Chains A and B, each alone.
Chain A
Amino acid sequence: MNKGFLIAILAGLMPLQVLAGEYDISVDRVQIDTGDFVKEGIGYNGASPGPVLRFKEGEKVTINVTNNLDEMTSIHWHGLILPFEQDGVPGISFPGIKPGETFTYKFPIVQNGTYWFHSHSGFQEPNGAYGAIVIEPEGREPFRYDREYVVQLTDKHPHSGDRIMRNLKMSADYYNRQQQTVGDFFSESAEKGFMATLMDRMMWGDMRMMKADIEDVQGFTGLMNGKGPEQNWTGLFKPGERVRLRFINSSAMTYFDIRIPGLEMTVVQADGNNVQPVNVDEFRIGVAETYDVIVHIKDEEAYTIFAESMGRSGYARGTLAPEEGMTAEVPELREAPLLTMADMAGHMDHGDMKHDDMNGDNMAGMDHSDMGGNDEMDHSAMGHGSMDHGDDASLPEDPFYAKGSGLVPTASNGGKFLSYSDLKAQKPLYEDREPTREIELRLTGNMERYEWSINGIKYEDADPIVLQYGERVRFKFVNETMMTHPMHLHGMWSILEVGEGKWNPLKHVISVAPATTVYMETEVDAPGEWAFHCHLSYHAASGMFRKIVVEGGPDSTVAEGKQSGKQGGES
């Protein structure tokens, strides 16, 4: 009873202490200089990337966004939990912001960590409209570090987003510069035999895919905090310091493998949520993900932050140095990985080619629907294990890649490469409970026509996914394509199934590798209408997108109080 009384008093006092910050952001035409080329683009407050917005958990923010473009715009606060009208998706949350208009966002900050913001209109985001968000926690951080830097990555392309989309529609391999050549064919024939090589090529041809088709869009310059490799973004430190690096992947299309040769990194946060710390030598950051790492730098030397694209077609580079101008060696790009038969297994399962071409009888048995209701993340039970790929036995296994996949990352120094299986929540937000139902989402596409879809249906032809407030839904992603898709649910957390029960981590992007099945659960605790899509810009734009409608809500009196701002004794 005493406790209740105390809480009542505190609740009465709280509003007096609520922080309220007001921020102004202008959306502008800007010049982007990557060092390789200069390109007109879109930025915030006159620059791309835009500012780092620093909020405090518990703060109520007011953000005035002024559109100085001659087209509609919007800002989506990526990963933030907020009322759906503030989420910034034109056509779902609001109509968008007209040229010359100022739209005022207002929402409470109810979380902490590293996030980002970007336009959700057209291809403004690939054209430069993105920035970082850092939210300081209400209590103390469960970390110790001496300084911190945001390290925001992107894949800046000399072509505009519209032009890239047109070219991809015209020819899906327009930007694939790593196509295999006749020369490759003969050298491979010498190694593996003519017939085997011919068969292999014919199968890949049948699927209208290339073995090297890991990145749809090559030919970009990797930027780190807006700087190209030659412009070398540099973060200073004093020897002996611990530095927190807040990595954000704001790329349109590019996954990066990140390492700092000579330093071990301790991953302490993923997608804004603290995780039980993991020491790694390298990690892969999917499009739209964030990872926070802490490094302890003991000596007075420079270190290269090297972010190599997953398909090895480009990189971003920066430096941690005790003083300006100091640099360290920049590693060579490693050899590009090639997709294997394992990576197309999901694709093959669905009748696009003849199974009798294959050297085994187990391909036809790879029915992912056998996995229904199985709580384990045991991908080895999916049947990939019986596929004989010959030379991949030495690759380490990662349950988040098809067994024998050509995409399984390895650390360049032979050390530890972070896996999704290593991610465990530091402090679970939700009680663990059984999901109320399961929704299967097959990630589908037709590479030749450059159409991407969910369950074979494009966004424009699809009904919304309807969820009920208060339920816990289990989503089953079955990737039937040969591309990796970073799936992003707005407004509610994605609880990634790593087989750790209540310690399963909270994320806002779930990366699904080719020919794998990945589960996530969502506590449906946010009423309204939300976007749910692949975060690869050109996949989302060509149809791998859904609207989510959450029906019902918290009891009506509370809901009314919320809307009129009368909640919680505010006066």
Chain B
Amino acid sequence: MNPILKIAVLPAMILALSSGAHAAGNHAGGHHGGNVIGEPGNAGNVSRTVEVTMHDNYYEPESIHVQPGETIRFKVKNEGALVHEFNIGTADMHEAHQEEMQMMVEHGVLKGDHIDHDMMNMDMGNGHSMKHDDPNSVLMEPGDSREIIWKFTKATDLEFACNVPGHYQAGMYGDIKIDSTVAAKDRVEGESDSESVQ
């Protein structure tokens, strides 16, 4: 009785997840010219590397300055004991994604300190799976290191965020400030991008 119930429930979830991926794909693909968050970058265009460390539940640094058009390599390491996400998006995008992540928790794909990969990669037919593979985000278990190369386009209200339920609300987010003057100033002063926030 239980397995049948699960199978009945899963497709609904996959639809929700894939629609999320589709939306992100649109932003990332940049086919519509009006993409707000930027797009996946080429390794050859990387101007600098920003290292981001995940803790339970916050990032170091908590603020990054970038210039419009700049391509950045994010080296992300999870030094916490819980699963965390690094996701580039607007606050609204994060909010929408949090509902999907909540579903992953409710369906047992996402546990506090690990991911059920078998369940996540299960082929449900129709080309759908529960893979968390949007190009603007990585979902990482404790100890994982991953990279994202991202090209920022124009100024907008961007944040990098962890959308594991509760983490964003507790404060696991960082500001991405796209501002040529600020970025230039940073470079001159050679200061760290991190800002201390309570």
Binding site for B on A (CB under 8 A): 140-146, 242, 264, 266-268, 276-279, 294, 296, 424, 426-427, 500, 503
Chain B residues closer than 8 Å to A296, beta-carbon distance: 169
Which listed residue (B55, B81, B170) contacts A277, Cβ 8 A?
B170
Instruction: Name which residue of chain A comes closest to B98, CB basis.
Output: A279
Give per-residue flags for B63-85: 1 if the beta carbon is below 8 A from chain A beta carbons, else 0: 00000000000000000011000
A427 and B166 form a contact (CB under 8 A): no
B-chain residues with CB within 8 Å of residue A264 when the two chains form the complex: 169
Given contacts A143-B58, A276-B166, 12 further A-B pairs with CB under 8 A are A140-B58, A144-B58, A144-B171, A145-B198, A242-B171, A264-B169, A266-B166, A294-B169, A424-B112, A426-B57, A427-B81, A500-B112
Most chain-A Cβ atoms within 10 A of its Cβ — which of B113, B169, B170? B170
Closest 8 CB pairs of A and B: A144-B171, A277-B166, A266-B169, A277-B170, A143-B171, A268-B170, A143-B170, A142-B57
CA distance A278 to B166 in the complex (A): 5
- Name which residue of chain B comes closest to A276, CB basis: B112
Query: What separation, in Å, do the CA atoms of A143 and B113 have in the docked complex?
Result: 19
How distant is the Cα of A266 from the Cα of B171 in the complex, in angstroms? Answer: 10
Residues of B within 8 A of A (CB): 55-58, 62, 81-82, 112-113, 165-167, 169-171, 173, 197-198
Check if B166 sits within 8 Å of A279, measured CB to CB. Answer: yes
CB distance from A327 to the nearest CB of B (A): 25
Nearest-neighbor residue (CB-CB) of A144 within chain B: B171
- The 10 listed contacts between A and B (C-beta, < 8 Å) are A142-B57, A142-B171, A143-B57, A143-B170, A144-B197, A278-B166, A296-B169, A427-B81, A500-B112, A503-B112
Q: Do A294 and B170 touch (CB < 8 A)?
A: yes
Q: Are A142 and B55 in contact (CB under 8 A)?
A: yes
Is there an interface contact between A427 and B56, defined as CB atoms closer than 8 Å? Answer: yes
User: What's the Cα separation between A144 and B62 when bound, in Å?
Assistant: 10
B16 to chain A, nearest CB (A): 18
Please measure, in the bound complex, the distance between the C-alpha atom of A41 and the C-alpha atom of B175, giving whole angstroms.
Answer: 49
Which of chain B's residues has its CB closest to A269's CB?
A: B170
Question: Chain B residues near A426 (CB, 8 Å)?
Answer: 56-57
**How many Å from the CB of B143 to the closest CB on chain A?**
16
Question: Do A294 and B112 form a contact, CB below 8 Å, given A144-B197, A427-B81?
Answer: no
Q: Inside 8 A of A503's CB, which chain B residues have their CB?
A: 112-113
Q: How far is the CA of A141 from the CA of B170 in the complex (A)?
A: 10
Specify which of A143, A144, A277 lies most central, judged by the most chain B CB atoms within 10 Å of its CB. A144
Given contacts A277-B166, A279-B169, A294-B171, contact A142 B56 (CB under 8 A): yes
Q: Which of A144, A267, A278 meets B198, CB within 8 Å?
A: A144
CA distance A242 to B167 in the complex (A): 14
Q: For the complex formed, measure the closest distance between the CB of A320 and the CB atoms of chain B, giving whole angstroms.
A: 16
From A146, A266, A424, contact of B170 by CB (8 A)? A266
For the complex formed, measure the closest distance between the CB of B59 and the CB atoms of chain A, giving whole angstroms: 10
The total of interchain contacts (Cβ-Cβ below 8 angstroms) comes to 59
Name the distance in Å between A281's Cβ and chain B's nearest Cβ. Answer: 13
Question: How far, in whole Å, are A386 and B94 apart by their CA atoms in the complex?
Answer: 44
Residues of chain B contacted by A146 (CB below 8 angstroms): 198
B167 touches A277 (CB 8 A): yes
A264 to B165, CA, bound (A): 12
Residues on B with C-beta less than 8 A from A277 are 57, 165-167, 169-170
Flag if B57 contacts A141 (CB, 8 Å): no
Q: B197 — which chain A residues lie within 8 A by C-beta? A: 144
**Of A140, A276, A278, which one neighbours B82 at CB under 8 angstroms?**
A276
Closest chain-A Cβ to B159's Cβ sits at a distance in Å of 11
B173: chain A residues within 8 A (beta carbon):
144
Complex: A427 Cα to B62 Cα, angstroms: 21
| Chain B nearest Cβ from A420, distance in angstroms | 16
Chain B residues, Cβ within 8 Å of A268:
166, 170
Q: Which residue of the partner chain A has the closest CB to B55?
A: A142
Q: Which residues of B contact A143 (CB under 8 A)?
A: 57-58, 170-171, 198
Question: Which B residues are in CB contact (< 8 Å) with A266?
Answer: 166, 169-170
A503 to B56, CA, bound (A): 13
Distance, CA A296 to CA B159, complexed state (A): 16
* Min CB gap A83→B, angstroms: 31
Residues of chain A contacted by B166 (CB below 8 angstroms) = 266-268, 276-279
The docked-state distance in angstroms from the alpha carbon of A11 to that of B37 is 49
In angstroms, Cα B56 to Cα A45, docked, is 39
CB distance from A293 to the nearest CB of B (A): 9
Residues from chain B with a CB closer than 8 A to the CB of A424 are: 112
Q: Nearest Cβ distance between residue B74 and chain A, in whole angstroms?
A: 20
A267: which B residues are within 8 A, CB to CB?
Answer: 166
The residue of chain B having its C-beta at the shortest distance from the C-beta of A295 within the complex is B169
Say how far B164's CB is from chain A's closest CB, in angstroms. 9
**CB proximity of A428 to chain B, nearest CB, Å:** 8
Task: Compute how far the CA of A266 lies from the CA of B165 in the bound complex, rounded to whole angstroms.
Answer: 10
Expressed in whole angstroms, the Cα–Cα distance for A165 and B105 within the complex equals 47
In the bound assembly, the distance between CA atoms of A296 and B165 in angstroms comes to: 15
In the bound complex, CA of A426 to CA of B58 (Å): 12
Question: What's the nearest-Cβ distance from chain B to residue A49, in Å?
Answer: 25
Nearest Cβ on chain A to B113's Cβ, whole angstroms? 8
Please name all residues of chain B whose beta carbon is closer than 8 Å to the beta carbon of A276 when the two chains form the complex.
Answer: 57, 82, 112, 166
Contacting residues, chain A, for B62 (C-beta < 8 A): 144
CB A291 to nearest CB in B, in angstroms, measures: 13
Separation of A200 and B33 alpha carbons in the complex (Å): 71
CB distance from A272 to the nearest CB of B (A): 16
> Which among B57, B62, B165, B169 has the greatest number of chain A C-beta atoms within 10 A?
B169
Docked complex Cα distance between A381 and B171 (Å): 39
A143 and B173 CA atoms in complex are apart in Å by 10
CA distance A23 to B62 in the complex (A): 36
A323 to B16, CA, bound (A): 40
Q: Which of chain A's residues have a CB closer than 8 A to the CB of B171?
A: 142-145, 242, 294
Query: Which of chain A's residues have a CB closer than 8 A to the CB of B169?
Result: 264, 266, 277, 279, 294, 296
Interface pair A141/B55, CB less than 8 Å apart? no
Q: Are A279 and B56 in contact (CB under 8 A)?
A: no
B112 and A142 contacting across the interface, CB-CB below 8 Å: no
CA distance A230 to B166 in the complex (A): 33
Contacts of B170 in A (CB 8 A): 142-144, 266, 268, 277, 294
What residue in chain A is nearest B58 (Cβ atoms)?
A142
> CA separation between A242 and B171, bound complex, in Å?
9
Q: In the complex, A341→B120 CA distance in Å?
A: 43
**Complex CA distance for A71 and B171, rounded to whole angstroms:** 47
Identify which of A140, A146, A267 gathers the most chain B CB atoms within 10 Å of its CB. A140
Docked CA distance A427–B170 (Å)? 15
Query: How far, in Å, is A498 (CB) from chain B's closest CB?
Result: 12
- Shortest C-beta distance, B158 to chain A (Å), equals 16
| Chain B hits for A279, CB < 8 A | 165-166, 169
Chain A residues with CB below 8 A from B198, complex form: 140-141, 143-146
| Cα(A242)–Cα(B170), bound, Å | 9
